[in-house]
Structure 1
Amino acid sequence: MRLMYTECAACVLLLLLVVVYFPAKPPSPPSLTASMERTNYLHGIKGLFKHKRFLVILVAYSVPTGVFGGLGAALDMVLDGVGVSQYQAGWIGFYATVGGCAAALLMSRIADQFLRHMKMMLLFLFVSGTAACLWLVLLRMSYIPVNLWSLYLSNILMGVFIYASIPLFFELGCEASYPIAEGVTVGVLTIANNVTGVIFLSVMQIPKIGVVWMPWATLGSAAVGIPLLLLFKENYTRTDIDTQRIIVPEPDPYRATSINTNTKVG
């Protein structure tokens, strides 16, 4: 309980700092496309759900990350069947989350250096993440010898590969849905992730369902992302404008400027 109060106080402090310090916008636009007119929020949300390429990203992102997040919330119950205490399960989940955060920062930097290769990076992460999920399933079902270090490593690798995909999905989703505003796109992706996690955890309300199904569901959710990514067609219109592969008139900072990039929403 004391930890929760401490976290709450930290969140309130950060909120106050944001309100007091951060301006509504920077002195100049961070990119060329940031200064251009975008679809408004209501039309943007409607457009996203008519956008087939974005819907592929939506499912490929929200299902694996939402399910893995739900697994972390119930990890102590899942690993109880192989003799892991709640205390040990807590540390396993902690290191998986920390490893995932570090990997996400690293992948963000790598993606900056290798533009237009995010699909390939995501495929690598998901193939590797699926392998890590399979390892956990084999351990949990006692198909292979179980030891604490194997459980630690399998869960940490799951966190590393699945969570490292999040910034790439956000970026690829924004590229796919351009010119819809990034805030709308990322907001819808985040909501879908949370809804998936709620549905996953709600299944536990079914009487006598147990927890053995959870590692299997996590494995299936990670594997689902692979064919979806293979079917996804990359398009970097926003990046092409920002890097001047598509030439547009230079706008005044934050002055709404309409452009025609022959890009359709949907």
Structure 2
Amino acid sequence: MFIQSIEVHCVKLLVVTKTNQQQEGSLLNSIIQSSKTRIHLMTDRQNFRVYPQRFWVLFIFALLAFNQTMFWLTFSPIAGPSRIFFNISEATIDLLLNWGPIIFLPTLPFVYLLLNTHHGFRKCVRIFAIVPVVATLLRLFPLIIVSSTSEKFHDIAVLFLHIGQILIALTGPISMALVSQLSCIWFPSHERTRSTTFAILGATSGGAIAFVVEPRLVSEAWHIPRLLYMHTGQAIFVCILTLAYFPAEPPSPPSAAADMLKINHLIHIRPIQRLKKFAFDIFHCCRNLSCILMIISGAIMGGVFAAWGGLFATILAPLGYTEIEAGWFGFGQTVASVIGSIAIGYIADLPRFRRSFKLLILISLTLCFIFCLFFQLSVRTIIWPKEPILPSSSASIGVLLSIIGFFSGATSPLFYESLAEIMYPFPESLTTSILVYIFNIITLCFIAIAPNQYKLMNLLVFLMIGLSILMVTCARITYNRKDEELRKCQEPENKISEDVKHI
């Protein structure tokens, strides 16, 4: 009996122990679940999501940038017919083009201030959509109220052409300064470089298409109204698409950087304080040597190539190449730069290369430098003004310029994204704005040199690529934005682990 009672007691003890273990296990699970729930509520803003609308936003922005560049370049590809139809000089056509960088410089700070307000991105894009409609309609106005054969047509048309081009130039900063911020607001970290690439390529493609399509649409001077009507239709169509649906921001941010940007934009600051903050932020950027080196390097590459691309006809004329051939060389270079940007953008978003921006930039610049050297040896420069050292053909010149375009285009999105990483948590639009501002200053300087000094300009391109390589080599790219995003993603897991340890 005694032994049986002991056995019964042991069985009861085992049952109670097992029950307690089950209860403790259940309690442990409930604590973990409670911790997860609590952390979920505490870090609700860290539950990042992406939305398919991001592709629509990118498409609309790229389309607007495409139109802006095409409208800005309206009269340069058809300079001959424009002189005849409007009875204007070559200097007037150059001024219509140069309104772009001239207006860009004073306008950019205002675009930056508007962009960094609550829903500032959508405000800028709406302006980007509406202003070109007004500008293209104003360019058409003289054709509606006055006959092109009238004596008054010249005076009226020139005035409205200048007003239209100035308005189009006003949207230039929006086209260039918003690209990195668009990527941050809508795209996750592993898609940002490609997004920046496609945002940049909208403007690049517009320029390439303008120089290829417009001369064929306007083979005669009296065809110019047809082109202006087409531009007005383009502007109205894209404006309708933009106003019909263009969300201000995604319901949930796609990354920690986007979340930080959203929080900053919700803080209401008076305009004068915002202006002071802008000046302070610029000062902070200027104190960062790596930031300055990357900005100057990127601006030099963009500015020099922008001015050099318009000189192919002059550079290659002594070697017997026609303007048509030079135009196709320029088009091939632009297409190659588009392909290069897309290719490197894809590579930079791969896990293996997300922290290798400097390596990718240096490889691209070095290869660009090497093939630019071969091009220099194939044409006349200040060093060998009479005869080039290497023989050339249409095929060799086309291939060399295309390869140069490929690798120069490849660096463009990398400069934007590198600067965003270096200066985080400052908004991406800050470094982008400084970069494109200096880019336009350099473009204006080289445009002033270019017309009468094409041999010097030819050599300067080669030297500037070498200078860019040296500056990028000396710069130190830190991935502050990626580090912060990684830390934010790991915080919930670390808090759960700490709660479990305390049980």
TM-score using structure 2 length:
0.46
In the alignment, is the contact (CA less than 8 A) between 2:257 and 2:481 conserved in 1?
Answer: yes
In the alignment, is the contact (CA less than 8 A) between 1:78 and 1:214 conserved in 2?
Answer: no
In the alignment, is the contact (CA less than 8 A) between 1:44 and 1:181 conserved in 2?
Answer: no
- Counterpart amino acid of residue 225 in structure 1: S
Classify 1:215/1:168 alpha carbon distance in 2 versus 1 (closer, same or farther; 3 Å): same
Counterpart check, 1:18 vs 2:255: no
In the alignment, is the contact (CA less than 8 A) between 2:368 and 2:404 conserved in 1?
Answer: yes
Give the CA RMSD over aligned residues. Answer: 2.3
Q: 1-side partners of 2:256 and 2:390: how far apart?
A: 54
Structure 2 counterparts to residues 46-65 of structure 1, below 5 A: 46-65=283-302
In the alignment, is the contact (CA less than 8 A) between 1:104 and 1:164 conserved in 2?
Answer: yes
Aligned to 2:472: 229
Q: 2-side partners of 1:148 and 1:240: how far apart?
A: 48
SS in 2 for 1:234: coil
Q: CA deviation at 1:181?
A: 0.4
Classify 1:202/1:234 alpha carbon distance in 2 versus 1 (closer, same or farther; 3 Å): same
Structure 2 counterparts to residues 39-78 of structure 1, below 5 A: 41-78=278-315
Q: CA deviation at 1:248?
A: 5.7
Counterpart check, 1:106 vs 2:324: no
Question: Structure 2, unaligned stretches of length 5 or more?
Answer: 1-77, 79-212, 215-226, 265-273, 381-387, 494-503
- Larger radius of gyration, structure 1 or 2? 2
Aligned to 2:443: 197
Of the structure 1 ranges 17-26 and 164-173, higher mean CA displacement relative to structure 2 is found in 17-26
Classify 1:33/1:198 alpha carbon distance in 2 versus 1 (closer, same or farther; 3 Å): same
Q: CA deviation at 1:20?
A: 3.3
Classify 1:26/1:245 alpha carbon distance in 2 versus 1 (closer, same or farther; 3 Å): closer
Cα distance per residue 1:52-106 (max 9 Å; x no partner): 2210111111112210111102221111121111111111111110110111011
Aligned to 1:146: 392
Q: 1-side partners of 2:307 and 2:235: how far apart?
A: 22
Counterpart check, 1:136 vs 2:375: yes
Structure 2 counterparts to residues 106-255 of structure 1, below 5 A: 106-113=343-350, 114-141=353-380, 142-204=388-450, 209-244=452-487
Q: CA deviation at 1:213?
A: 1.3
Classify 1:127/1:43 alpha carbon distance in 2 versus 1 (closer, same or farther; 3 Å): same
Question: Structure 1, unaligned stretches of length 5 or more?
Answer: 251-266
Of the structure 1 ranges 33-42 and 223-232, higher mean CA displacement relative to structure 2 is found in 33-42
- Counterpart amino acid of residue 81 in structure 1: P
Within the candidate set 328, 345, 354, 1:91 is matched to: 328
In the alignment, is the contact (CA less than 8 A) between 1:133 and 1:215 conserved in 2?
Answer: no
Q: CA deviation at 1:10?
A: 3.3
Q: CA deviation at 1:43?
A: 3.2
Q: 2-side partners of 1:240 and 1:151: how far apart?
A: 44
Within the candidate set 319, 327, 334, 1:82 is matched to: 319
Classify 1:138/1:12 alpha carbon distance in 2 versus 1 (closer, same or farther; 3 Å): farther
SS in 2 for 1:180: coil
- Counterpart amino acid of residue 34 in structure 1: A
Aligned identity (percent) is: 25
Classify 1:12/1:124 alpha carbon distance in 2 versus 1 (closer, same or farther; 3 Å): farther
Q: 1-side partners of 2:233 and 2:436: how far apart?
A: 24
Q: 2-side partners of 1:148 and 1:236: how far apart?
A: 43
SS in 1 for 2:442: helix
Classify 1:11/1:231 alpha carbon distance in 2 versus 1 (closer, same or farther; 3 Å): farther
Classify 1:9/1:103 alpha carbon distance in 2 versus 1 (closer, same or farther; 3 Å): farther
Q: CA deviation at 1:45?
A: 2.8
SS in 1 for 2:454: coil
Aligned to 1:255: none
May I ask how many residue pairs the two structures share in their alignment?
247
SS in 2 for 1:26: coil
Cα distance per residue 1:108-152 (max 9 Å; x no partner): 110011111010000000000001111111111211011111110
Counterpart check, 1:31 vs 2:255: yes
SS in 2 for 1:212: helix
In the alignment, is the contact (CA less than 8 A) between 1:136 and 1:215 conserved in 2?
Answer: no
Higher relative contact order (CA 8 A, sep 6+): 1
Aligned to 1:264: none
Q: CA deviation at 1:216?
A: 0.6
